[in-house]
């Protein structure tokens, strides 16, 4: 969700003396002006709250089912087989593209390409 903002947006807050003293003491340690310290503190707290509420939580049964599915995967359906074939086609095309510029596949993992020093020297 995009929110348009500009420097003219203002947030006015009321703060008791104890909280204000705590704010001043804390921002003194990090050498930030009051506005920047408050903005950073609000952003940090908002990120923490959002992260906590948007976290995926598994109970014991969920974890057991998750690991069972990892240990005993089901056979891929037609849709998954088609997706895997499309992926292989894309990777093969990308590898061919890079190989035209001197990249070579690694023996152990042919989908990983390296640029040999000889090819680098020829570019210099």
Give tens-digit pLDDT for 8-62.
788 888 999 999 999 999 999 999 999 999 999 999 999 999 999 999 889 999 9
Report yes or no on 47 lying in a domain: yes
Residue numbers of the domain that contains 41: 17-53
Taking each helix axis from N to C end, the angle separating 17-30 and 34-53, rounded to the nearest 10 degrees, works out to: 100
**How many domains is the chain built from?**
2
pLDDT of residue 85: 92
How many beta carbons lie within 10 A of that of residue 115, not counting itself?
13
Same domain flag for 40 and 80: no
Copy the structure tokens of residue 83. 């997706």
Higher pLDDT, 98 or 60: 60
Could you tell me the pTM of the whole model?
Answer: 0.45
Mean of all residue pLDDT scores within the chain: 88
Distance CA 108, CA 32 (A): 52
Report yes or no on 6 lying in a domain: no
């Amino acid at each position: 969700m995009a929110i348009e903002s500009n420097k003219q947006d203002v947030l006015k807050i009321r703060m008791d003396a104890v909280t204000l003293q705590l704010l001043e003491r804390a921002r003194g340690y990090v050498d930030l002006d009051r506005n920047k310290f408050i903005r950073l503190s609000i952003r940090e707290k908002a990120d923490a709250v959002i992260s906590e509420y948007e976290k995926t939580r598994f109970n014991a049964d969920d974890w057991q089912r998750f690991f069972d599915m990892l240990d005993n995967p089901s056979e891929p359906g037609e849709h998954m087989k088609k997706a895997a074939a499309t992926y292989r086609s894309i990777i093969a095309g990308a590898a061919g593209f890079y190989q035209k510029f001197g990249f070579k596949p690694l023996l152990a993992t042919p989908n990983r390409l390296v640029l040999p020093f000889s090819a680098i020297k020829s570019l210099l």
